[in-house]
Amino acid sequence: MDLKSLFNKGKKIVDDRGGVDSLKEDAEELTAIAKQKGSLTDKAKEAAAAVKEPGSNEPAPQERHPNRQATEERRADADRQESKERRHP
């Protein structure tokens, strides 16, 4: 797997999770869980539950990711680039 393909897959995963802002919210949520008191097992269970849903539960998906059309265009570009690389390595 070349770096460009890996980069495109990473970008697609970030977009699927709701963008960079959503990832920041996830990181903040996990940081708060790690800092709270309690057993490591309880923290791990809470962190696993938090990671299942991208971003925080407060804003609606449209609010968290307002430029959905641009994201869909980037995904399509990444998919086209990946298929092009498969045909012409």
* Whether the predicted pLDDT of 85 surpasses 60: yes
Contact 68, 62 (CB under 8 A): yes
The residue written with tokens 């697609």 in the block is 12
Write out pLDDT tens, residues 12-30. 888 888 888 888 888 888 8
Query: Cα–Cα distance between 57 and 1 in angstroms, integer?
Result: 35
Residue with tokens 């097992």, as numbered in its chain: 41
Top pLDDT among 61 and 17 is at 17
Q: Note the pLDDT of residue 62.
A: 45
pLDDT, tens digit (0-9, with 9 covering 90-100), for 45-57:
888 888 887 755 4
